[in-house]
Amino acid sequence: MDGNPVAIYLSKMLKIGRSEASGRVFFALSGRIEEQHVSELQELLQTEKEGIDISLDLEEVRLVDREVVKFLATCEARGIRLENSPPFIRKWIDTGAI
């Protein structure tokens, strides 16, 4: 998914792109997401308008830690869509192995 880069964390290679289509906001995440990024991602999501549909595209995510999986599960429970989730992330969320 193409989009405007919102943030690039060079030290750990997390890239975030933001785009909009049909009244939805998409954040494409790429690379490694670690616990230190969770608070920044939360802030980023909170900057969006109340009631807007948000999706996180995880297709290019290669590595996450336990806290990130908890964060993603919480996002999904709040109605944020997780799209193109790698199987290992989906399995951890679905089995509660966090």
pLDDT tens digits for 31-87?
999 999 999 999 999 999 888 999 999 999 999 999 999 999 999 999 999 999 999
CATH number for 4-95 (one of 3.40.50.920, 1.10.10.10, 3.30.390.30, 3.30.750.24): it is 3.30.750.24
Q: How far apart are CA 5 and CA 87, in angstroms?
A: 25
Tell me how far CA of residue 6 lies from CA of 34, 89, 94, in angstroms.
17, 23, 29
Q: Tokens 């399995």 belong to which residue?
A: 91
> What single-letter DSSP state applies at residue 66?
H
pLDDT tier at 13 (50, 70, 90 boundaries)?
A: confident
